[in-house]
Amino acid sequence: MKIKNKITLIFVLLVASMQMVIFTIIYLFAVDYTTNEFFVKLKNRTLIAEQSHFEKDALSTEIYEDLIQKHLQTLSEEREFIYTVDTPKTQINTELDVVLPEEFYSDLIQNKYAEVKIGHSFFSGINYTDHNTSYFIIVTASDVDGTNELSKLRSLLILLFLLTIFVLFLIGRFFAKRTLDPLSKIIEKVNTIRVTNLHERLHTSENKDELSQLTNTFNDMLDRLETSFEIQSNFINNASHELKNPLTAILGQTEIALLKERSPEEYIKVLEGVETEALRLDALINSLLKFAQTENDEKGLLITPIRLDELILEVKDNIDLINPENQIEIDFSDFPENPDLLIIDGNYGLINIALNNVLDNASKFSDNKKVIVKIVTNNSAIKIVVTDHGVGIPSDEIKNIYQPFYRAANVRNVKGYGFGLPLTYKIMKLHSGTIEVFSEHKKGTIVTLIFPNKYQEFSVSK
């Protein structure tokens, strides 16, 4: 069922329920009022019957004639019965064609008056004493006029109820449609957005209602989708380009080598060139595999305590072997007194990769100038601050540094694939950590890795 129909149905049901309660109260009040009014009339008829039968001699002719005139205005199906108090109840019930309840007789004896309604018949009685003899004067009648009026009222209320339901349905339908029209427009617009027109956005208003929030949420989602598609497209283009270059070089060298017979030395030179490009291709594929590994969730990750100062020294030793000319220095001036503050929980291999990427980039893009690695700790986190004085990153390109294969314009002549920071970013995110990069073009870069220490609750997340 559509929301518009649900809103209409709920609105009609709620208002109809309230109206049914009100109409029911009105009808019950009318029934009670009609019943009480008829009992008043019937009591008066009972008193008239008592006066006409027992007080005729005490009344003047004029008053008596007036009573007779009133008495002639009988009620529908009116009957009068006079019994002595000692008359058997079975006889009274037989002549009345109804069994009067015991409460009726009790009220007659104790209160000198009683009334009761049985079915459509009303009964009124008084206990009158004349010449030391007590009599029951009982008058019975049917309220035909009242019943007819109540029937008309009931029919009118039912008709009004049905008519109101119809009107409420139309009103509810109108307002539900009017309320949900903006939502329908949002759905219609969203359905027109495809991969080819992800740049389009929903129309926003100045209102602060839920529909405005929904519109803004959709636009934010479209922003993220557009960015994701651009990143994916760039990734595919860059990956294809980087994979194609070594393959092209390998095919070119082998094709040239096969054009004619060559000396062993020439074949060795060709094979060395093929090996170089194959190693380049292997390094690229390994980088892709490492990047893909960080896309997985925590399943399969071995989490162990890691002391970061020791790991940094190990990474520094590895870089010294590969690049002996580096000038990476480790600053222990803020070394904590409590060595436990240097321990984190994480995957040793991935943290090693992240630190190696940052330190290697700092040395590589600063042309082996001085690089300072500083460890700062507190009770909740460990910060590793890596400062270099290299080429820096242009301010308009910093937003792209976490995209795979992306390389800033001023470092494209430096060997690399653009995987270092994207991979490090995902590893930090996987370990509930963060990476912050501050850079000035031609002045240098500061990269800060922030890890929660072992005293904080650790959770692996994508």
Per-residue confidence of the chain (462 residues) as pLDDT tens digits?
777 788 888 888 898 899 899 999 999 999 999 999 888 888 888 887 777 776 655 555 555 456 555 555 667 888 888 888 888 888 888 888 888 898 998 998 888 899 999 888 899 999 888 878 888 888 899 888 888 999 999 999 999 999 988 998 888 888 888 877 777 787 888 888 877 777 777 777 777 777 788 888 888 888 877 777 766 666 666 566 566 767 887 888 888 888 888 888 888 888 888 888 788 777 667 766 766 665 554 555 678 889 999 999 998 988 888 788 889 999 888 888 888 888 888 888 788 888 988 998 888 888 888 999 999 988 888 999 999 988 888 887 888 777 766 666 656 666 666 667 887 888 888 888 899 999 888 888 999 999 987 766 555 444
> How far is it, in rounded angstroms, from Cα 408 to Cα 397?
7
pLDDT at residue number 279: 80
**Is residue 177 situated within a structural domain?**
no
112 and 217, same structural domain? no
> How far is it, in rounded angstroms, from Cα 424 to Cα 436?
11
66 and 124, same structural domain? yes
**Is residue 326 situated within a structural domain?**
yes
245 and 315, same structural domain? no
> Count of domains in the chain?
3
The structure tokens listed for 302 are 């071995």
328 and 249, same structural domain? no
275 and 382, same structural domain? no
**CATH number, domain with residue 445:** 3.30.565.10
321 and 276, same structural domain? no
**CATH number, domain with residue 261:** 1.10.287.130
Task: Report the DSSP pairing between strands 327-331 and 343-346.
Answer: unpaired
**Is residue 110 situated within a structural domain?**
yes
pLDDT at residue number 55: 62
Task: Report the DSSP pairing between strands 370-377 and 327-331.
Answer: parallel
For CA atoms 349, 354, 359, 364, the dihedral sign is positive
**Is residue 426 situated within a structural domain?**
yes
390 and 325, same structural domain? yes
11 and 142, same structural domain? yes
Which of residues 242, 266, 293 is at a domain's end? 293
**Is residue 441 situated within a structural domain?**
yes
448 and 338, same structural domain? yes
Which of residues 267, 293, 319 is at a domain's end? 293
Which of residues 149, 165, 199 is at a domain's end? 149
Side chain identity, residue 302: L
Phi, psi of 449 (to 5 degrees): -100, 125
Contacts of 279 (CB under 8 A, 6+ apart): none
Whether this model's pTM surpasses 0.85: no
CA 219 to chain centroid, in Å, comes to 18
**Is residue 199 situated within a structural domain?**
no
282 and 324, same structural domain? no
**Is residue 172 situated within a structural domain?**
no
pLDDT at residue number 462: 40
346 and 243, same structural domain? no
Which domain does 268 fall in, by range?
Answer: 210-293
**Is residue 343 situated within a structural domain?**
yes
Among the listed residues 414, 462, 442, the one whose alpha carbon sits nearest the alpha carbon of residue 293: 462
366 and 277, same structural domain? no
> How far is it, in rounded angstroms, from Cα 97 to Cα 23?
35
